[in-house]
Structure 1
Amino acid sequence: MILALESSCDETAVALFSPERGIVAEWVHTQMALHERHGGVVPDLATREHLRHFPALIEAARERPEFAQVDTVAVTQGPGLAACLAVGLASAKALGLALRVPVWGVNHLRAHAFSPFIALHARCLGEFDEEFGKLLPHLGLVVSGGNTLLVEIDEERRLRVLSTTRDDAAGEALDKGAKLLGLGYPGGPLVEKLAREGDAAAYDFPRGLGGRRDNLEFSFSGLKTSLRYQLEKMSLGEVERRLADLCASYQQAVIDALLRKLESALAAKPSGASEQLAHGARAESLRRSAYRSIGLSGGVANNRLLRESVSSLAAKRGLPVMIAESRHSGDNAGMIGFAAWADTQGVDRTSRLALEVRPSMRAGD
């Protein structure tokens, strides 16, 4: 039984995870309403809220009969806000000492990359390893407020980062765009809501980096600048009248940029059709190299249009699509507990007292 803690940003979360039973229980305290008043996450306030709410969430876990079976504590080690991570790590070390169990550090981004498989584990449980193996190698798109990256999980569950963003992340671009449009925080869901009533073809915003097809890097800073230039040409009244169109066009540009890179990554691998036409040793080679599934995770994975677009791309390729459930797309401890068990290559099992906060941790670490 793994007791998992998450505090990388503005959610305080605790979960109990069992390899035999899945996520037994989980608790999350969100600070969204608090930070909304300030137009974004205030690190000092976020840290204070973690200090205030971890005790109650841990006490809720202690009241579960399964708590007596805890033999490991898993905690987000990074990336994230340093002070927020420190609160979680200190809590985990204290629990580890009190329970006399090891404390493992989990990479938050790697946990996002593995989170689409939580639902599969819940369905299969004892047969998970076999079913998971059928979906590997796996191509995952992780899209959150602070990170955008493409990752590959191979047959041995080794995670390799294929690309990241050279500037803004997709979620950050949506939030900054919302701010330019005079919307509130968090901006992404507000842009999505207004976009449903707008024309996505009304404005032609850039789709990130072009160039060579094998360039998988993301870039969204130019998109934000393009929106600013467009707004400078418009009167306030026109912006108000065309707000839905602006949101729809801006959101579509973000999604098209994500899909373009996802398609490029798929094109770099042999296709399923090539595999079916091959024979003998070549067929085996293709089987081991072609992607067997596509994944989508991270907070922005809650965007309905993005989910539909990734699902459509997967269907065209004849591949299963694994999308993180809504409750496991944002910051949550369920995915930390699951990754502590499923990510056999990326967990830091350093002595519990030597475990350190790593706010700039990369997905490949």
Structure 2
Amino acid sequence: MDTENNQFMNYNNPDKKMVIEDFFMKAVLGKGSFAKVILVKKKDNGKFYAIKVLKKSKLEKQRHIDNVIAERNILVGVNHPFVIQLHYSFQNSEKLYFVLEFCPGGELFNLLHKAQKFTEDQTRFYIAQIVLAIEHLHSLNIIYRDLKPENVMIDFDGYIRITDFGLSKNNISNHEKTYSVCGTPEYLAPEILTMQGHEKSADWWSLGALIYELLTGLPPFYNQNREVMYELIKNQNVNIPDYISPICKDLIYRLLQKNPENRLGKNGAFEIKNHPWLQDVDWEILLRKEYRPPFIPILDNIVANFPVDFTQQPIDSVDPFQSVKQLNQNNNIGGFTYNQSQNREMDFQ
């Protein structure tokens, strides 16, 4: 049981190694192939965070370890109001921990699932923020590569955070191509599927797919048969329902161009920001979070916007604990540990 009034750790030592015992475990928020996400409360400051826990045994392949380090480096290097913040990262002999800001509104996916589809005004509010976030990532030579409703979180104020950089590619300059095939099937750009190499504009294809999904409830080329879906992505023109406005249709068509050379955003995010569907957005007001969001989380139950399939699981079932006594320095992954509050990287772990 939590004993939140029992402050038994010495928190005044700035070089104290962070351990999982520094947190009270509150609820399971989600699970994926490699990671589990747990709501925690830090013992020394009483703040809530979302801890992403990865088992080292599941990251045995060097490529997976490289992806985790790349994700950590991106999170440390990116500072944007619409990108998730990394507060700490640390490890022990069995696990890696990303301590991220907690977004109580849950995933945009869950919000969409409840609503079934959004209006164009609602969609524009979320998409405009995503455009600014992707624009910032591209300015840092990062291709995001996993834009989907599950990776867009809603914060305390109803604004978004892009999260999960496990598939992102760093150090890709303008018009430089990368050739790995990765991403979520429904949102993959054709050039990724054909392995012709892809640039930053692959993210703008995913943006077009996301706009379509927010307005209709499904991705544009969705099919339960994955191979059929891939063929549709590569060869089929998108069919947009008539209830979507002509200018929004035009934006979707321009983003879902099979040939990346013809895709809106090829020359930069300004092409998308200047499209008529987004022309009334005041980007500075948006950055200052002065628009009223269509949804603001009610905080009576802090996990109300997360699936009960996860939040009602016993905390023990995710086995987040690994005592500092079992720390094995020989199993450490170098260059992982980070402490934002000290604004420096820590080399001792």
Shorter-chain TM-score above 0.5: no
Question: TM-score, with normalisation over the residues of structure 2?
Answer: 0.27
Question: TM-score, with normalisation over the residues of structure 1?
Answer: 0.26
Relative contact order, higher structure (CA 8 A, sep 6+): 1
